[in-house]
A and B are shown apart, each in its own frame.
Chain A
Amino acid sequence: AQKITQTQPGMFVQEKEAVTLDCTYDTSDPSYGLFWYKQPSSGEMIFLIYQGSYDQQNATEGRYSLNFQKARKSANLVISASQLGDSAMYFCAMREATIDAGNNRKLIWGLGTSLAVNP
């Protein structure tokens, strides 16, 4: 079963508008971290924002904010005032605190959402 689900393969937004990229996750671990990354067409993966499961407030970083709804297990990324340079793939990822049967505590990735910002 997918631990990280990004239901929107592709999204379009008009420049200067806000956009929300969805991410839902599945874990029974009470302690975990959620990450969002941006990957432009050039290929580099850029860290955007982090939310810890015990954080009381939603994370914000400049134009990026995370709409964290713990009970619903969702961690949607909100980009305010979209810019042309925001056109990219966006990935949601989770790291659980518990080490799994394979002695792993790796980062689990969603399949990404492709965002296109229209002028």
Chain B
Amino acid sequence: KAGVTQTPRYLIKTRGQQVTLSCSPISGHRSVSWYQQTPGQGLQFLFEYFSETQRNKGNFPGRFSGRQFSNSRSEMNVSTLELGDSALYLCASSQGEGNQPQHFGDGTRLSIL
């Protein structure tokens, strides 16, 4: 079956703009998690959505927000972009119960100029 699909793969924005990233999970998966990955900070958890509700949240400012739709697809929005937001944004899906592994998309590489 199809894996996790993230769009777009690459994105270039300027400071102050906003951006929306999209993630389509594996069919049947109800949990979608978002991560920010940078060389200096490693993998940082942003938030997790399960059945359209935010279930977990990391320590990111309110400029980072997300949502999940009834078909489990998820979007992440970042407003008022800063240079430090340049990163690889990874989306992962899982069935959401117990200790099933998360399966990741290829990521969206966001560059802020």
The reply to whether B106 and A107 form a contact with Cβ atoms under 8 Å apart is no
Q: A44-B104, A47-B103, A111-B42 are in contact. Are A106 and B48 (CB under 8 A)?
A: yes
CA distance A111 to B107 in the complex (A): 18
* Closest CB in chain A relative to B26 CB, distance in Å: 12
B contact residues, total (Cβ < 8 Å): 20
The reply to whether B92 and A45 form a contact with Cβ atoms under 8 Å apart is yes
CA distance A103 to B107 in the complex (A): 27
CA distance A102 to B59 in the complex (A): 11
Q: B16 interface residue, CB < 8 Å from A? A: no
The reply to whether B57 and A104 form a contact with Cβ atoms under 8 Å apart is yes
* Closest CB in chain B relative to A67 CB, distance in Å: 19
Q: A106: which of B45, B103, B105 is its contact (CB, 8 Å)?
A: B45
CA distance A109 to B43 in the complex (A): 7
| Interface of B, helix, strand, loop or mixed by DSSP | strand
The reply to whether A107 and B102 form a contact with Cβ atoms under 8 Å apart is yes
The reply to whether A91 and B43 form a contact with Cβ atoms under 8 Å apart is yes
User: Which B residues touch A37, using CB under 8 A?
Assistant: 104
Q: B77 interface residue, CB < 8 Å from A? A: no
Q: A45: which of B42, B90, B99 is its contact (CB, 8 Å)?
A: B90
Q: B56 interface residue, CB < 8 Å from A? A: yes
Q: B109 interface residue, CB < 8 Å from A? A: yes
Chain A interface size range: 20 to 34
Q: B8 interface residue, CB < 8 Å from A? A: no
User: Which B residues touch A106, using CB under 8 A?
Assistant: 33, 45, 48, 56, 58
* Closest CB in chain B relative to A92 CB, distance in Å: 11
CA distance A70 to B33 in the complex (A): 28
Determine the residue in chain B with the shortest Cβ distance to A100. Answer: B56
Q: A50-B99, A107-B33, A109-B43 are in contact. Are A44 and B58 (CB under 8 A)?
A: no
Name 6 extra pairs, CB < 8 A, besides A104-B57, A109-B42: A35-B102, A42-B106, A43-B106, A43-B109, A47-B103, A112-B43
Q: List 12 A-B contacts (CB under 8 A).
A: A43-B106, A43-B109, A44-B104, A44-B107, A45-B92, A50-B101, A104-B56, A104-B57, A106-B33, A106-B45, A106-B58, A112-B42
